[in-house]
Amino acid sequence: MNDTNLIDKHINFIRHQINNDLDSGLHSVIQTRFPPEPNGYLHIGHAKSICLNFNLAQDYKGKCNLRFDDTNPAKEELEFIKSIKNDIKWLGFDWDGDIQYSSNYFPKFYEYAIELINKELAYVCFLNAEETREYRGTLKQTGKDSPYRDTSITENISLLEQMRKGKFSEGECVLRAKIDMTSPFMCMRDPALYRIRFEKHHQTGNEWRIYPMYDFAHCISDAIEGVTHSLCTLEFQDNRRLYDWILEHLDDFNKLNRPHQYEFSRLNLEYTVMSKRKLQQLVEGRLVLGWNDPRLPTISGLRRRGYTPTGIRNFIECIGISKVDSMTDMKILENAVRDDLNIVAQRTMGVIDPIKVIIENYPESQVEIIKAPVHPQNEDMGKRDIFFSKELYIDRADFKEVAPNKKFKRLAIDKEVRLRNAYVINATTFDTDFDGNVVTVYATYDPDTLGKNPEDGRKVKGVIHFVEASKALKAEFRLYDRLFTLENPGKNENFEQLFNPKSLVVTYGVVEPSMQYATPEVAYQFEREGYFCRDNETNDNLVFNKTVALRDAWSS
């Protein structure tokens, strides 16, 4: 039995397969790959594939390479390649060897296409799109052979060469595999292998006028690179037949230890969409502020929002690997991130909707420095300076003229409350504006309650946070909610109409002066408010994105 079995804590059907392949001697070492198409930013569904492929390689002491499946230059951009590399690194993984591109193998793909023609297993077809659909048939009706199916080997090779030289227009013809037009599997009814595209490629320039289809390029790329276990999501399950057919009919790869494809369920997350096409619609329709909008499930968006690599990896581990498609509750993701941040996040204070408090019996010009823990459960993280003076800011929600009930543990007239890490205060009166909104609360403080309870035995149960006024820094807070109003918006054809107009709410408040040096993308716990991180695109201003609430905020 392979030694890895003894340390594998999260066995699943893929690991069972790998164990069997190693035990039987089919493979002596495994190789996986992460093969994104550079036509958009990665999202958390891709993170599942990243974690699966790279972790398997690490656990089994194998290799995992990064390959860009760049066979459609019309939709691919160098910006996407750069972002994908950054996302993988940020998640904590690194690929083996040099980055690969399917475009590296364009000459080999062409050679293999010629081989299939010579074996009378491929032909150039001039049916137009409508005719192709008609000849293809339906799930209930078999297809029929193309009139170009019996073109001679010599002529097919000549036609493919003319395609390559740009002698035909886009859509005029394609190279098709000759398999079985009566197959119950649509992907096996003479699928296209090459199509004409007059697009400049980001790697090969204008060298090629024809580009291989994904299904043709993907399996051959795997085989060239020595991939043993080709892992993909369930929508490619039927395409496994084409994957196998291509490799079985090419002399270089028709061997027992060639790559084999295995499918697992994709990640579907509630109240968002997990399709690059749909995400692109949101970006191009300006419903969101770019691919890295913190409301999006893109890795760059989650990073900008303050999610941690550890939290995301723990989430992926929690949901596991299976063959059952399902919707994943947003609470599982947020809990994983919250659990990590609870351990690593520094504490600070920020007031999101501030009103002023004037401590009437505090010395007029004094500003007191108080030592507070950076993390209450981790003394090794040290202390931080907070400030206290006659004028402070507290959150509007933390004051009521009259306590609404006995459970109200915040500030009210003639009701005492403790300020976090500071003194006990008692509200005496307040001022309002013309609309009746409270603008200033007047209070007194007990100077003998710093770090201790009142000496006369008074019990003060409530604790609220504050920021000292003279050193407070103005800040913008961006509060996020569900991106869509429906649990599974992707099933709706007009999913954009389900966009949640309250998915972003902006407020203006104050933070401690130390937050001037807050690191972008690093989440801090704003005590009693939640986890926030400084936005990574607004460094000149203090803008904080809400990462996650202190407790579950997704309950209906």
CA distances from 464 to 81, 220, 255, 416, 529 (A): 47, 62, 69, 11, 10
* DSSP notation for 309-338: HHHHHHHHHHH---S---EEPHHHHHHHHH
Judged against a pLDDT cut of 90, whether residue 6 lies above it is answered with no
Dump pLDDT digits (tens) for 462-478: 999 999 999 999 999 99
Dump pLDDT digits (tens) for 506-524: 999 999 999 999 999 999 9
At 204 the pLDDT is 95
CA distance 82 to 129: 35
Indicate the SS3 state at residue 280: helix
Judged against a pLDDT cut of 90, whether residue 505 lies above it is answered with yes
At 201 the pLDDT is 95
Residues written for the chain: 556
CA distances from 55 to 58, 92, 230 (A): 5, 11, 14
Report residue 430 as tokens: 């307040």
Judged against a pLDDT cut of 90, whether residue 11 lies above it is answered with no
Mean pLDDT of the chain: 94
Dump pLDDT digits (tens) for 260-279: 999 999 999 999 999 999 99
Buried b / exposed e across 25-46, counting CB within 10 Å, b at 16+?
A: eebeebbbbbbbbbbbbbbbbb
CA distances from 410 to 57, 445, 525, 528 (A): 53, 15, 20, 12
Judged against a pLDDT cut of 80, whether residue 546 lies above it is answered with yes
The position carrying tokens 């109409």 is 497
Judged against a pLDDT cut of 90, whether residue 223 lies above it is answered with yes
Domain boundaries, the chain: 4-264, 269-346+475-548, 350-465
CA distance 542 to 510: 9
User: What number is the average pLDDT over the span 163-192?
Assistant: 97
CA distance 174 to 146: 12
User: What number is the average pLDDT over the span 287-294?
Assistant: 95
Q: At what angle do helices 106-118 and 153-164 cross, to 10 degrees?
A: 160
Indicate the SS3 state at residue 229: strand
Strands 530-534 and 347-348: unpaired
* DSSP notation for 355-382: EEEEETTS-TT-EEEEEEESSTT-GGG-
At 555 the pLDDT is 46
Q: How many CB atoms lie within 10 A of CB 389?
A: 17
Report residue 529 as tokens: 């408010």
- Would you name the residues annotated as active-site residues? 37, 266, 276
At 10 the pLDDT is 63
Pairwise pLDDT comparison (552 vs 56), residue with the higher score: 56
At 553 the pLDDT is 58
At 406 the pLDDT is 82
CATH assignment of 269-346+475-548, among 1.10.1160.10, 3.40.50.720, 3.40.30.10, 1.20.140.10: 1.10.1160.10
Query: Is 298 within 8 Å of 291 (Cβ atoms)?
Result: yes
At 30 the pLDDT is 97
Confidence of residue 180 (pLDDT cuts 50, 70, 90): very high
CA distance 70 to 49: 18
Confidence of residue 456 (pLDDT cuts 50, 70, 90): confident
Helices and strands, number each (H, E), in the chain:
13, 29
- Which of 284, 286, 241, 281 lies closest to 261, judged by CA? 241
User: What share of the chain in percent tops pLDDT 90?
Assistant: 91
Dump pLDDT digits (tens) for 66-103: 999 999 999 999 999 999 999 999 999 999 999 999 99
Dump pLDDT digits (tens) for 246-257: 999 999 999 999
Judged against a pLDDT cut of 50, whether residue 4 lies above it is answered with no
Query: Is 32 within 8 Å of 53 (Cβ atoms)?
Result: yes
At 274 the pLDDT is 92
Distance, CA of 534 to chain centre = 19
Dump pLDDT digits (tens) for 335-382: 999 999 999 999 999 999 999 999 999 999 999 999 999 999 999 999
CA distance 301 to 503: 14
Backbone torsions φ then ψ of 151, nearest 5 degrees: -60, 145
At 473 the pLDDT is 97
At 453 the pLDDT is 86
Residues with Cβ < 8 Å from 125, sequence gap 6 or more? Answer: 132, 146, 148, 149, 173, 174, 175, 176, 190
At 158 the pLDDT is 98
Judged against a pLDDT cut of 70, whether residue 9 lies above it is answered with no
Burial class (CB in 10 A: 0-12, 13-18, 19+), 4: middle
CATH topology of domain 4-264: Rossmann fold (3.40.50)
Query: Is 430 within 8 Å of 438 (Cβ atoms)?
Result: yes
CA distance 83 to 156: 40
* DSSP notation for 52-81: HHHHHHHHTT-EEEEEE----TTS--HHHH
Strands (E), 229-282: 229-233, 260-264, 268-269
Rg of the chain over Cα atoms, rounded to whole angstroms, equals: 31
CATH topology of domain 350-465: Ribosomal Protein L25; Chain P (2.40.240)
Strands 438-446 and 174-177: unpaired
